[in-house]
Every structure is written in structure tokens, then in C-alpha cells.
């Protein structure tokens, strides 16, 4: 395996193998340094806490090192250097690159100019495949992945994590229930592509009408920074919020996930309920990314 740009780069066997490996890496490499001498380049052109720090933690735990570009303003991109040239240059300094970029397709473009593996750490409203592996890994800790009913709630237009997760779930015969504020449903192209891949996608007007059927509730924030019209954000802000009172008639094994950061879409009083899995999900970033790094760098 070389680049991981899109969840479409992985078939079901490869996904299952990475998830199984994520469950073993911590014990398998305890006291060992399989990536000693290797360097991971971190090129983040959008804010990040989890993706940047869990890739770094994963690399350090595997005995490797990280090199951080530090963003546009402190690199020669501030002088006008292109992403393509930056990638060409950094691929001579590192052994793999994690790229986060505000533009859809940036990671694919980078892979065309890189001599080393590119891992997409999120490209605009496109995809976030490493987050998807974390999401699947977290679900699998609670239930088998096949045949689940999953609710995707929030900004499904610009929320890249929901795009790659929905595509990945087509391998597992999931029923995908969508609940989105007006104008923020899944893009038509993704909705149609999911159905072409055999997915069942059911749109709902409210979370109340489907919550009791769900095995997984995947919550996302409004991607305010991607709204072309800031006024639109105020039209839809606070239009959904997960609270304990919503969760009175749910399946015992319901898992509530959120890629985080959360703004106000999950009430903090949900955190202590047995359904809340989102902080565990964030912790799972380390073993899943350890599995990915050993896959592309050894
Ligand atoms: N889930 C996620 O991508 O979080 P960050 O934006 O903090 O990396």
C-alpha cells in the first residue's frame, strides 16, 4: 500500500486488515521501534488537534520522528511556492507525509508530485480516510460492523468525515439514516454514488423519528469555516443538539460517535452516559494511525 488519499483506495479486506492490526500494534510493538530512523512530515494548512497530534504520537510510539512544516505563514509558501513544489521538496526530507488542506483534491494532487506515501489528513469538504478507520474501529469495539443502522446528523454537505464513513459502510451493508439542517444534506453526487454502490440511504426530518432504531449515532458540527455565506450559518446554528432527554428510548448498545471538535451539538451531560464513545474514539486515533504508518512505511 502506498498513498491513502480516499477511503476508495481501500477495499473491505484492506480495511479489515488495518482494523485488526490497530488492535494488535500496541502489544506487538511494545519495547520495539519498527520505524526507528524514519521521519513523518506533517503538513497542516488547517487547524487540527487530533489528527496532527495522534499521528505524531503514533510515530513517536513506533520509534520514528516527526517534522512539522508549521503552516503557510512560516514556510516558503508565504513567498508563493506551490503545494506541488512544496511536496516535491519535502518528499526528499521525509519518509511519508500527512497532509491537511482546505481544498478538496489537494491530497490527490500531492500524491502526483510525491516520491513518498501521502496520507490524507482531511481535504476540505472531501474526505478524511484515517478518521473513517478510527470511526470503524470504535464501532467495532461495541458491535460487528455488518448490517448496522447508523444515523449521520449534522452538516453532511461540508462534513468530510461523514462522506468517507458513508462510503466505507457500503462494504458492510449499513442502513444510513441522514438528518441534516436544510441545505446541508449529503451532496447529490455522494448520495447518488452511495446508492450506486448498493447503500440504503434514508433521509429524515428529525432525529426523534429514527433515534430508537439506531445502533450508531454519528454527530458532526456545522463546518462554519466552509460556509460560502456566513449568514447561512446563523440560519441553521443550534438547529440540533443531542441531550439526555433524546436518549430515553434507545438501543442498549447505542454508540454515539463524534469526530470532534464538538461545539454545541452534544450536551456535555451526555458525556457520562454509557452511549458516549467520542473521547474513546479520539484515543483510538493513536493505534489506528500506528497501523496506518507501519502499513505504508515498512
Ligand atoms: N477529527 C479531527 O479531524 O479532529 P482535528 O480537526 O482536531 O484533527
> Does residue 160's CB lie within 6 angstroms of at least one atom of ligand 1?
no
Q: What is the pLDDT of residue 274?
A: 98
> Does residue 35's CB lie within 6 angstroms of at least one atom of ligand 1?
no
pLDDT in tens, 143-185: 999 999 999 999 999 999 999 999 999 999 999 999 999 999 9
Q: What percentage of residues in the chain have a pLDDT greater than 70?
A: 100
Q: What is the pLDDT of residue 12?
A: 98
Q: How far away, in angstroms, is 257 Cα from ligand 1 center?
A: 13
> Does residue 50's CB lie within 6 angstroms of at least one atom of ligand 1?
yes
Q: What is the pLDDT of residue 233?
A: 79
Q: How far away, in angstroms, is 45 Cα from ligand 1 center?
A: 13
Reply yes or no on whether the pLDDT at 111 is more than 80. yes
Q: What is the pLDDT of residue 1?
A: 58
Reply yes or no on whether the pLDDT at 231 is more than 90. no
What pLDDT band is residue 262 in, cutting at 50, 70 and 90?
very high
Given ligand 1 and candidates 121, 259, 280, 288, which is best to mutate, with the most ligand atoms within 8 Å of its CB?
Answer: 259
> Does residue 49's CB lie within 6 angstroms of at least one atom of ligand 1?
yes
> Does residue 259's CB lie within 6 angstroms of at least one atom of ligand 1?
yes
Q: What is the pLDDT of residue 71?
A: 84
Q: What is the pLDDT of residue 108?
A: 97
Mean pLDDT calculated for residue range 41-69: 97
CATH architecture of structural domain 7-125+285-297: 3-Layer(aba) Sandwich (3.40)
pTM (two decimals): 0.96
> Does residue 210's CB lie within 6 angstroms of at least one atom of ligand 1?
no
Reply yes or no on whether the pLDDT at 121 is more than 90. yes
Of ligand 1's listed atoms, the one at least distance from the Cα of 51 is 8
Q: Is CATH 3.40.50.1370 correct for 143-276?
A: yes
Task: Enumerate the domain spans of the chain.
Answer: 7-125+285-297, 143-276
Q: How far away, in angstroms, is 249 Cα from ligand 1 center?
A: 30
Reply yes or no on whether the pLDDT at 230 is more than 80. no
Q: Are 115 and 58 in contact (CB under 8 A)?
A: no
Q: What is the pLDDT of residue 236?
A: 83
The chain-wide mean pLDDT, for the chain, equals 96
CA-nearest residue, atom 3 of ligand 1: 51
CA-nearest residue, atom 1 of ligand 1: 259
Q: What is the pLDDT of residue 238?
A: 80
Mean pLDDT calculated for residue range 38-45: 98
Would the CATH topology of 7-125+285-297 be identical to that of 143-276?
yes
Amino acid at each position: 500500500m502506498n498513498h491513502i488519499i480516499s477511503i476508495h483506495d481501500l477495499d473491505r479486506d484492506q480495511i479489515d486488515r488495518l482494523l485488526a492490526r490497530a488492535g494488535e500494534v500496541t502489544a506487538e510493538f511494545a519495547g520495539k521501534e519498527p520505524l526507528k530512523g524514519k521521519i513523518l512530515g506533517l503538513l497542516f494548512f488547517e487547524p487540527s488537534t487530533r489528527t496532527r497530534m495522534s499521528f505524531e504520537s503514533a510515530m513517536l510510539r513506533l520509534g520514528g520522528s516527526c517534522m512539522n512544516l508549521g503552516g503557510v505563514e512560516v514556510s516558503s509558501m508565504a513567498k508563493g511556492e506551490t503545494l506541488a513544489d512544496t511536496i516535491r521538496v519535502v518528499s526528499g526530507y521525509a519518509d511519508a507525509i500527512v497532509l491537511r488542506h482546505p481544498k478538496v483534491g489537494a491530497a490527490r494532487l500531492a500524491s502526483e508530485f510525491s516520491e513518498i506515501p501521502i496520507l490524507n489528513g482531511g481535504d476540505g469538504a472531501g474526505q478524511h480516510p484515517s478518521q473513517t478507520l478510527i470511526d470503524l474501529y470504535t464501532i467495532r469495539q461495541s458491535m460487528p460492523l455488518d448490517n448496522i443502522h447508523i444515523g449521520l446528523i449534522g452538516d453532511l454537505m461540508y462534513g468530510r468525515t461523514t462522506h468517507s464513513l458513508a462510503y466505507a459502510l457500503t462494504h458492510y451493508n449499513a442502513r444510513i439514516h441522514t438528518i441534516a439542517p436544510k441545505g446541508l444534506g449529503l451532496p447529490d453526487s455522494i448520495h447518488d454514488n452511495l446508492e450506486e454502490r448498493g447503500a440504503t440511504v434514508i433521509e429524515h426530518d428529525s432525529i426523534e423519528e429514527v433515534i430508537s432504531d439506531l445502533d450508531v449515532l454519528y454527530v458532526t458540527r456545522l463546518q462554519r469555516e466552509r460556509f460560502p455565506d456566513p449568514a447561512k450559518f446563523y440560519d441553521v446554528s443550534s438547529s440540533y443538539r443531542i441531550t439526555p432527554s433524546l436518549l430515553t428510548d434507545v438501543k442498549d448498545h447505542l454508540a454515539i460517535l463524534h469526530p470532534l471538535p464538538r461545539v454545541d451539538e452534544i450536551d456535555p451531560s451526555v458525556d457520562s452516559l454509557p452511549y458516549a464513545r467520542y473521547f474513546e474514539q479520539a484515543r483510538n486515533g493513536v493505534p489506528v494511525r500506528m497501523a496506518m504508518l507501519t502499513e505504508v512505511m515498512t
